[in-house]
Amino acid sequence: MPGITREEVAHLARLARLELKDEELDHFAGQLDDIIGAVARVSEVADQDVPPTSHPLPLTNVMRPDVVRPSLTPEQALSGAPAQEQQRFKVPQILGEE
């Protein structure tokens, strides 16, 4: 099994949208390596002809009649927003200048 390097942890942090500090990268690299090392045993069954189970219940798509029902008001929906404007969530810029 490959070990987890500090660079890999930095890459994972970017994928997970976590702006980790340098000392966290060092700390997590060691811990994640330990944990992965300990749990990698699951791959011992990978070759076997075992169907995977993703969920304890056989899930089916649950539909309801398409009827308009009362829901949160705009004020309620926006009540926890860090910033709002004109009954909308106000977010930082998403597209660059160019």
Partner 1 sequence: MADLIKLTAAEIAAKIAAGEVTAVEVTEAHLARIEAVDEKVHAFLHVDREGALAQARAVDAKRERGEKLGPLAGVPLALKDIFTTEGIPTTVGSKILEGWIPPYDATLTKRLKAADVVILGKTNMDEFAMGSSTENSAYGPTGNPWDLTRIPGGSGGGSSAALAAYEAPLAIGTDTGGSIRQPAAVTGTVGVKPTYGAVSRYGMVAFSSSLDQGGPCARTVLDAALLHEAIAGHDELDSTSIDAPVPPVVEAARNGDVKGMRVGVVKEFSGEGYQAGVMQRFNESVELLRELGAEIVEISCPSFDLALSAYYLIAPSECSSNLARFDAMRYGLRVGDDGTRSAEEVTALTREAGFGPEVKRRVMLGTYALSSGYYDAYYGSAQKVRTLITQDFERAFEQVDVLISPTTPTTAFPIGERADDPMAMYLADLCTIPTNLAGNAAMSLPCGLAPEDGLPVGLQIIAPAMADDRLYKVGAAVEAAFTARWGHPLLEEAPSL
Q: Report the distance separating Cα 82 and Cα 90, nearest Å.
A: 8
Q: For the window 75-94, what string marks contact with partner 1 as x by the rule CB under 8 A? A: -xx-xxxxx-----x-xxxx
C-beta of 54 vs 86, nearer to partner 1 = 54
Q: Judge residue 78's burial from the number of C-beta atoms within 10 Å of its C-beta, 0-12 exposed, 13-18 middle, 19 or more buried.
A: middle
Task: With CB under 8 A as the rule, give the number of residues binding partner 1.
Answer: 56
Minimum CB separation of residue 41 from partner 1 in Å reads: 5
53 binds partner 1 (CB under 8 A): yes
DSSP 43-57: GGGTTS-----S-SS
Non-local (6+) Cβ contacts of 12 within 8 A are none
Quote the DSSP letter at residue 41. G
Binding site for partner 1 (CB under 8 A): 4, 8-9, 12-21, 24, 28, 31-32, 34-36, 38-46, 48, 50-57, 59, 61-62, 64, 72, 76-77, 79-83, 89, 91-94, 96
